[in-house]
Amino acid sequence: MAASEVILEVNNLRKEFDGVVAVENLSFQLHRGEILGLLGVNGAGKTTAMNMILGLTEPTSGSIHAFGLPMPKSRIAILRRCNFCSAYAPLPSNLLVWQNLLIFSLIYGVKNRRQRTAALLELLEITPLRQRVTGHLSSGESTRVNLCKALLNSPELLMLDEPTASLDPDIADKVRKTLRRVQREDGVGMLYTSHNMRDIEEVCDRVIFIHHGQVVAEGTPQDVVRQSDHASLEEMFIDLARAGGKA
Amino acid sequence: MQLHVIAGLILRYVLLYSRNAIRLIELVFWPVVDLMVWGFLTVFLKENTSGDFPHFITFLIGAMIFWDILFRAQQGLAISFLEDVWTRNLLNVFVAPVRPSEYIVATALVGMLRVGVTVIVLTILAAFAYAFRLWDFHFLLIPFFANLLIFGWSLGIVSVSLILRFGQAAESLGWAVPFLIQPISAVFYPVSVLPVWLQPLALALPSTHVFEGMRAVLAGNPLPQSNLLLAFGLNALYLALAAWLFALTLRNARQRGLLVKIATQ
């Protein structure tokens, strides 16, 4: 595993919706096996940036390269090596858990589907949920099933949009530990958004603070806190939100 | 195109039916109701009019079954897309390595499955209830059947494009689009019944040539080649136009953020 290999490169990314700038001049790199936190208040541009990286939204200007391939031109080739998990994009509620996992393992062309799914269910401690209706799961169970889907194709790059939102501390801790384990054992690079600063401090190797679509701070969670003269990331987050971007 | 992607998407829509008996009933409920209404109407007309009536009966029942082919094919695309919107699964599909063409092919095949189920049920019912035996016409009607299927797919692609462009507020278009063309498709009456100024518009639709041709076959005439060729030609044009519209709408949706908006509404 080449620790310094860049798997995602974003340059001068800009997105404007009907005259409103959502993302402005955003540039960063993500290395293989690194977890990069994308932080910011609601409406800061995190999700828009992630949507552009996933090819859901086209940038107004700037470029995105994943594994050296340009997005959106090489969208399919990139998405085969990525996956996505969001608290706001649950799997179809009217199907059973195993049915949803079978469908997505087919879509992603997963080899040894049965073994791969069984191993992930075991890893996430949700094997007993196989026969349950997805819509009847608790938010903690649903998040782990979603994460199971996100790991089906052994992604090299994982996009996580608030994966621990609305989870109790115990489940949130399990999810964080699982992500760390996957990062360590499989060298998965992750782009991680969250409003939970504990999550960020515990999981992310590096963070980027964005506000009004622009980067206002960057570095390891400890460096960012130190440079900003705050006691914690949480304090910095609150100050940033209230001061309009000057931390 | 990757077959495993198409298989995964088809499985997703087919499993929905296995999970909900109401959906299965819905698949045959309205067609059966329609068949009963048109069937009993023709029985009533037969008993109260004279002349060359048996053909008239076959026209109405045949037209009803044929119309359902077009409608169900369109529904396969439109409703499958709406299912993804309603269950907020659209985001998961569009961040997966799914090409738009694979998505369209999968939903079109789902439409074909829906058509298959409906036509089998209606054909059996029409034979028992009204002595209308579709199989008496052997394979003569199959080319018309294929044309309606293709036109239904085109209308389905247009419906999906409109929903993508205008959001969930436009979801009723998922059902309405076929009915916009029904009055001028000469489904239950010949195109000559329409006002003269409307006839060119009617003849610009493949469905009109299908229903005109179907009436000729049901009346015992040979397969009208001209109707068939026109229908296939127009279908090729409309399918290409629908695909172009979808590509354009999808690109516009990606530029304006509409894809994410409709997926997370």
Query: What percentage of residues in chain A have a pLDDT greater than 90?
Result: 53
Please give the pLDDT value at position A89: 85
Interface test with B, best of A54, A85, A106, A149 (most B CBs within 10 A): A106
Pairing mode, strands A6-17 and A20-31: antiparallel
Cβ of A95 within 8 Å of Cβ of B19? The answer is yes
Whether A46 has its CB under 8 Å from any CB of chain B: the answer is: no
Mean pLDDT throughout A222-227? 84
Whether A43 has its CB under 8 Å from any CB of chain B: the answer is: no
**A91 to chain B: which residues are within 8 Å by CB?**
89, 92
Residue with more model confidence, B157 or B18: B157
Mean pLDDT throughout B135-146? 77
Interval B72-124: pLDDT, tens: 999 889 988 998 888 888 889 999 999 999 999 999 999 899 888 888 888 88
* A238-247, B39-48, B93-102, B249-258: the lowest-pLDDT one: A238-247
For chain A, the residue count is 247
ipTM of the prediction: 0.88
Please count the structural domains in chain B.
Answer: 1
- Which of A90, A93, A107 is facing B96, going by the closest CB pair? A107
Residue A117 pLDDT > 70: yes
Cβ of A54 within 8 Å of Cβ of B8? The answer is no
Whether A20 has its CB under 8 Å from any CB of chain B: the answer is: no
Mean pLDDT throughout B11-30? 83
Please give the pLDDT value at position B53: 59
Mean pLDDT throughout A65-86? 94
Domain ranges for chain A, please list them: 1-81+157-247, 90-154
How far is B182 from B92, CA to CA, in rounded Å?
A: 35
How far is B153 from B84, CA to CA, in rounded Å?
A: 18
Please give the pLDDT value at position B87: 84
Please give the mean pLDDT across all residues of chain B. Answer: 87
Neighbouring CB atoms inside 10 A of A18's CB total 6
Residue A10 pLDDT > 80: yes
Please give the pLDDT value at position B137: 65
Interval B207-223: pLDDT, tens: 999 999 888 887 788 88
Residue A34 pLDDT > 80: yes
Residue A244 has phi, psi (to 5 degrees) of 70, 30
This prediction's pTM: 0.88
Please give the pLDDT value at position B131: 77
Residue with more model confidence, A100 or B119: A100
Whether A17 has its CB under 8 Å from any CB of chain B: the answer is: yes
Q: How far is CA A139 from CA A95, A106, A167, B74, in A?
A: 16, 25, 7, 36
How far is B20 from B28, CA to CA, in rounded Å?
A: 14
pLDDT-derived band at A192, boundaries 50, 70, 90: very high
Q: How far is CA B263 from CA A14, A103, A166, A195, B149, in A?
A: 22, 19, 20, 22, 28
Which secondary structure element, helix H or strand E, spans residue B120, and what is its range?
helix B100-130
How far is A166 from B37, CA to CA, in rounded Å?
A: 52
CATH for A1-81+157-247 is 3.40.50.300
Range among A227-241, B34-48, B99-113 rated most confident: B99-113
Mean pLDDT throughout A105-126? 93
pLDDT-derived band at A60, boundaries 50, 70, 90: very high
Which chain A residue's Cα is nearest to B15? A95
Mean pLDDT throughout A205-228? 85
How far is A233 from A229, CA to CA, in rounded Å?
A: 10
Please give the pLDDT value at position B56: 59
Cβ of B254 within 8 Å of Cβ of A102? The answer is no
Contact partners, residue B216, CB within 8 Å, separation at least 6: B222, B223, B224, B227
Please give the mean pLDDT across all residues of chain A. Answer: 88
Cβ of A106 within 8 Å of Cβ of B251? The answer is no
Mean pLDDT throughout A31-36? 93
Mean pLDDT throughout A186-209? 89
Cβ of B96 within 8 Å of Cβ of A103? The answer is no
Judge whether B200 and B211 are in contact, CB under 8 Å.
no
Mean pLDDT throughout A131-140? 91
Please give the pLDDT value at position A2: 45
**Domain encompassing residue B114:** 3-264
Please give the pLDDT value at position B214: 85
Please give the pLDDT value at position A222: 86
Whether B251 has its CB under 8 Å from any CB of chain A: the answer is: yes
